[in-house]
Amino acid sequence: MVLDTADYTAISITTIKGTTKLFITANTNASKEAKHTLKINNKKYTWVGSYDYK
């Protein structure tokens, strides 16, 4: 788990090939039109909708 707050949860997922992805979900304001900006470890993530997977 990378982040767990009332507003957001972020987890790091590593594939069997060693690629690491980040899954972030909005725990509040999860409408598909909602715009989100979040900073994790000095990196800014911006997305629209309930989740981001990169």
pLDDT digits (tens, 9 = 90+) for 24-45: 999 999 899 999 999 999 999 9
Residue 40: count of CB within 10 angstroms of its CB: 14
CA proximity to 5, closest of 42, 40, 44: 40
3-24 pLDDT, tens digit per residue, is 999 999 999 999 999 999 999 9
Give the start-end residues of each E strand in the chain.
Answer: 3-4, 8-14, 20-26, 35-40, 43-48, 51-53
* Predicted pLDDT of residue 38: 96
Whole-number pLDDT of residue 49? 97
Instruction: Evaluate whether 34 touches 50 at the Cβ level (below 8 Å).
Output: yes
Determine the pLDDT at residue 24.
98
Reported residue count of the chain is 54
Predicted structure pTM score: 0.88
